[in-house]
Structure formats: C-alpha cells, structure tokens
Chain A
Amino acid sequence: MTQRKRLSNTQGRRSDPLEEDDSDLTFTQPSTSQVQRGLDKFTGSQMDQKAAEVIQYILVKDQKKIPVRRADLVKHVLKDYRYIYPEIMKRVLQTFDQVFGLKLVEIDTKNHLYILINKLEPQEGAAGPPNPKMGLLFVILSLIFMKRGAVKESECFQCLLYICGERHEQFGDVKKLVTDEFVRQRYLECVRIPHTEPVEFEFHWGQRAELEVSKAKILDFMGELHNQDPQTWSQQYKEAHAPPPAAPSTSQPNHSQR
C-alpha cells in the first residue's frame, strides 16, 4: 500500500480515486483491473477470514439496530482488502443467507447503509422476553398505515399522550424515543410538510419498517381490535396484499459481475 502511495506521489498528483482516504466520498467502485490485482494478492482462505470479520462487525453493530455504514466497514475492518470489497461482500451476503438466515440489505444506495433483517418468518413462542419499545413502535406504525402512509407529528403525539403519557417508566421521554431512536433505526421517517408555516413534520414508515414489518399482519391486528373484518378497510387491504414490487436485487452491491 505504501509503495503505491510513493509511486503516485512521484508521478505527480493525478486524480487517483483509490488513494488512501478514509472518506467514503472518494471510495468509488474499484475497476476490474484493481479487483483482479486484489484477487491475485490474497488467498481464498484470507478472504474468507476477512469476510468472517465483516460478519462479526455487522452482527455486533446490529445490536443497536442502527444501519451500518460502508465507510465504517472499509475503515475498521477491510483496510487493505478494500479493493476487493465486492468479492468480500459477496461472501458476506452468502454466509448471512445460508448460515444465519439473515438478509443484508442496502437501504441507502447513495450513502451506502446496510441493515440486517430476518429471512425467516417469526415463530410463535420462540422469542425471548417481549420488548415494550416494539409495542410502542407497533402502535405508531399501525397508525401511519391506517392513515394511508403519513401521520402528522402533532396528531401522533396526541394519540400517544392519550395512551401512555409524556414520560413513561419503561420508555423514558416518549417524544425523544420516537423522534430520535426510531428514526435513527430507520423504523420511522420524519418528513417536513411543504408550505407549512410554522414548520410541521409528519411520520412515514422508515426503510427498515418497509422491509421488516408485514402490513397484512398489522391489518389483521386492527381487525381483532376493532372486531371488524380486515377487508372492510379495502384500501389498506389492497395495499397490504399487493404483490411485492419487482425490485432489482437490492442486496447485491452495484458492480458488473462478469
């Protein structure tokens, strides 16, 4: 690595996109020649080892449910292996898929953020002690869904205030939990309502919620609560049972395979 740097310095400062730079802005996709050079440099077992390190890193980062940044991955784990990033990630995805039953999804292609979701459907009685925060999140997501995708911030908190109050012994500051934690975890998205004066915000489903949460199941729960057939909410029912969009493989990093 240092040799390459010395060479590039002597040859004058040409725009080398793969210079030693921790900022992800300069980390463009490596060219095929650079990938090939990297592949020649490391053995298969070395790459497996590095992939295992990436997996461990992601698993630990996932404890807080905050998305993993590609820049952090490259800086802290990959280091010298950064030029064969696509190859390593291919192995990582495969391992997650086949060994753990988890899916690593890139939710932000511009800033390169990844989250882990479960491939398998949740099992009855398999989970440990229930997390009350999930309950609160569930309520908010249901509200947004039933209101056809957006709920004003004021309305959301009005409802929550009625149900659980501003400070809760299990949640602490409810407003902070919702606007800070849930948004950072990408369960919720806080969007500004245009042309409002003073500024108002509304909540949408976040990218993680879109991937993790089943709308159909939420509608079933609504039906239970209201003692109604879920199909009576015809629009929501249509949305919940719509076929999944033919999305391009979001879980693969963008690069030409062959």
Chain B
Amino acid sequence: MRRSKGDGDDDNNHKTSTVRKRDQRRDRDHDGSGIDSGNLQDNDDHVNRREIRSKYRDLINSVQQNREDMLNPSNNMLTEVLEEANKLFKDVRQAREAALDAQLLVVATDLGKEKASQLCAEGSSFDPSAFAEHLLSFMGLNRLEDAQNGQQNGGEGYLPDDAWDRVARRAECCFKTAPTFHYMLGSFHAEPPPPKQRTERQIRAPNKEAKRIMPTQLKKMEESQQEATEKEVERILGYLKGYYKEDPTAPIPYYEFVIDPNSFSRTVENMFHTSFLIRDGLARMYLDDNRLPCIAPAEEGGMEDGASTSRKQGVTSISLKTWKELIEAFDITDTMIQPLNVSQTE
C-alpha cells in the first residue's frame, strides 16, 4: 500500500502532517526545490530504509529473547525499547517499515500486559518457591544437613513413601469427582485353560502303541483261518479215499459220509468242506439205484473228462429236523469224518 505516487515524491498532499514536517526538514537539509533530483536520493532512501527495518527487527528480537528480564519490575528495559522505537519511527515513511513498527508495538504491549498483571499487588503476593518449600514440609520431608547426591528434591533430603498419599488425601476433599464404576466381583478373563493341552498329549501316546499291536495280531488270525479250511478239506479227502480203498465196489452214501450224529454244526461243516472237493473235481457225486446220493473220489485221469463234460451244480441244505430224520432213516450211529479236536487229543 503506497501513499505516495513515486519514490520520494515530496510534494504529495496525501501525506500526514508528521510526514510532511519530516519532508520539509529534509528539504531544508537537502537544499532542493522539493522535487527529488534523481537517483542519488533513491539510493539513500533504500539504504536508510534497510537500516530502519534492521533496527526494528533487532528491537523485536530483543523483546522476545529477553522476555524474562523485561518482565522483572526492577528495571525499565521495556520503556527503553519503546523510546528507541519512537526514535526510529521518526524516519519511517513507507508502509513496510510502519508494519514492522506495528509488530514491535504488539509484542511490547503484550509484555506490558503481563507486567501490569504482576502489578495487581492488592493483597499478599504468592511465591511459588515458598509454596514448594511449605509443601515439602507438609509431605514430611526429612531434611539432611549435608547435600546428598542422587536423591529427590535436588539433594535437599528425602521424602517418605507416603508423601504423595498425604497430599492426595488432603486434596480429595477439594474435588467433587464422580466415583468410578467397577464391577464388585471383577470381570472374567477369557483365557484358554492350559491343562487341556497336557491331557491331549498324554492320551495320544497309548493310542499309537495300541495301533501298532493291532496289525500284527490281525495277520496271524487271517492265516490261521485260511489254513484251517484247506487242511480240513484235505483231511476229508483223505477220509474219503481211505473209505473208498477199503471197498471200491461199495458206494459211500453221501449222507452217511457227512453226517455227524453227535453234532449238527460239525455236519454242516463237513458238507461245506465236501463241497470244495466236488468243486475242485476231487470227488464226484452220483445217484445210486435207490436214487440216493453217493460220493466217491474222482479217478485221477478222469479230471480232464470231467472238465469237458457238462458241469452240473447243486445246492444242498440241511436243517436240524432233516438232520435228525436222516440219522433215524440211515440209522447213523457214528460219524465217518472224525472231528479235528477229537483226533488231536487222541
């Protein structure tokens, strides 16, 4: 914001009276007609103005840096700064310097306000250090004669442990604090129980061992089952061949062969094993003149013939009732196929 039209235009009527007075003074000094005679004056102005601005900035800095000192009521430093500012302002012509002047005024008045507040000395003054000392005594400070290092309170002594509790108790009555809300029995903790993991690990070990035992046992059982059947079938074949040898002409009735009058279950087993013989072509069944089934071991050479001739299938079944009837009908008193365990014990 420029008040004058040109730099150093002295004849401008818009200037304030103080500035006009200054201009007149300058005119007197410079022995000019009032119109600036050219570049020389411009340069001087620049230099002067720079100087003025620099001085203003110095003043502002001094106020800010030495704030504490200036606040002290014992000196007049602030007043000196203001007087200095007044002197500088006499040479101010342009807005730029005036702005700096305004800034200095703001800073100075701020300080002045603070100083004034200190001056409200109606009533006793308050000294923070005295306050601190009294407070420490209240807290129960044990002052030591000689200054100890590494203690609290700057080496003046040591406070009891409940020092701050004392202050707090005294302070509580000054506060209208709302009591804080807490559940009476506390809250629950959501944590996974550690024992659970331990039991899991303990159980795991026996499981593994048990599994290891199992396969070995199973294998044994399977073998015995297969062997037993094969052995039994062979044994029966042996019986059959033995009976046939005794009398090749006499036919062996099927039912007399398989039935065990002492045990129904063994009869069924005998029928089961005999069927293997027939299936494998090691024995043959035929009907005799009375149309009763008979069994005979197959001739060695006849195996191939048996394969070429048509195969016949039959299903035999027996029930308890039928078994008893057969025993009566054929008058079977003893079994032709001796049971396994009996023969073993004998």
Residues of A within 8 A of B (CB): 59-60, 62-63, 65, 102, 116-122, 124, 127, 129-139, 142-143, 146-148, 155, 159, 161-165, 170, 194-197, 211-214, 217-218, 221-222, 225-226, 228, 232-237
The listed residue (B135, B175, B180, B182) touching A134 by CB distance below 8 A is B175
User: In the bound complex, what is the Cα–Cα distance between A142 and B130 (angstroms)?
Assistant: 13
Are B168 and A143 neighbours in the complex by a CB distance under 8 Å? no
Identity of the chain B residue whose Cβ is nearest the Cβ of A133 in the assembled complex: B168
In the complex, identify which listed stretch (B77-85, B119-127, B255-263, B309-317) lies at the interface while the others stay far away.
Answer: B119-127
| Bound CA–CA A182/B174 (angstroms) | 17
Contact partner, B174, options A129, A138, A147, Cβ 8 Å:
A138
Q: Shortest distance in angstroms between B284's beta carbon and chain A's nearest beta carbon?
A: 89
Which residues in B have their C-beta under 8 angstroms from that of A161?
A: 154
**Secondary structure call for the A interface:** helix
Q: How far is the CA of A197 from the CA of B106 in the complex (A)?
A: 13
Summed over the interface, the residue pairs from A and B with CB atoms below 8 Å come to a total of 138
Known pairs A132-B168, A225-B138; A217 contacts B173 (CB<8 A)? yes
**Which of A122, A132, A218, A232 interacts with B124 by CB under 8 Å?**
A232
A233 to B110, CA, bound (A): 26
- In the complex, chain B residues whose CB is within 8 Å of the CB of A148: 117, 120
Contact present for A213 and B178 (CB under 8 Å): no
Contact bitstring B152-170, A, C-beta under 8 A = 1, else 0: 1110000000001111111
Query: Within the assembled complex, what's the spacing in Å between the Cα atoms of A120 and B178?
Result: 9
Chain B 123-139: CB-based contact to A (< 8 A → 1; otherwise 0)? 11010111110111010
Contacts A122-B175, A138-B174, A163-B135; is A130 near B117 (CB within 8 Å)? no
A65: which B residues are within 8 A, CB to CB?
177, 180
Q: B140 CB to closest chain A CB, in angstroms?
A: 13
A147:B126 contact, CB within 8 angstroms: yes
Distance of A93 Cα from B306 Cα, bound (Å): 110
Contact, CB under 8 Å: A143 / B124 = no
CB nearest to B134 among chain A residues: A225
CB pair B131 A143 closer than 8 Å:
yes
Chain B contacts for A212, CB-based, 8 A: 175-177
**A182 to nearest B CB, angstroms?**
13
- Whether B221 is near chain A, meaning CB under 8 Å from some CB there, is no
Q: Report the minimal beta-carbon distance from B181 to chain A, rounded to whole angstroms.
A: 4
CB-CB under 8 A from B130, the residues of chain A are 226
Chain B 157-211 residues near chain A, CB threshold 8 A: 164-182
Cβ-closest chain B residue relative to A234: B123
A143, closest chain B residue (CB): B128
- The answer to whether B181 touches A59 (Cβ under 8 A) is yes
| B176 & A214 in contact (Cβ 8 Å cutoff) | yes
Name the distance in Å between A85's Cβ and chain B's nearest Cβ.
Answer: 22
| B227 → chain A closest CB, angstroms | 78
Q: Are B107 and A162 in contact (CB under 8 A)?
A: no
How far in angstroms is the closest Cβ of chain A from B218?
A: 63
Contacts of B166 in A (CB 8 A): 135
Q: Which residues of chain A are within 8 angstroms of B117 by Cβ–Cβ distance? A: 148
B54 within 8 Å of A (CB atoms): no
Q: Which residues of A contact B107 (CB under 8 A)?
A: 195
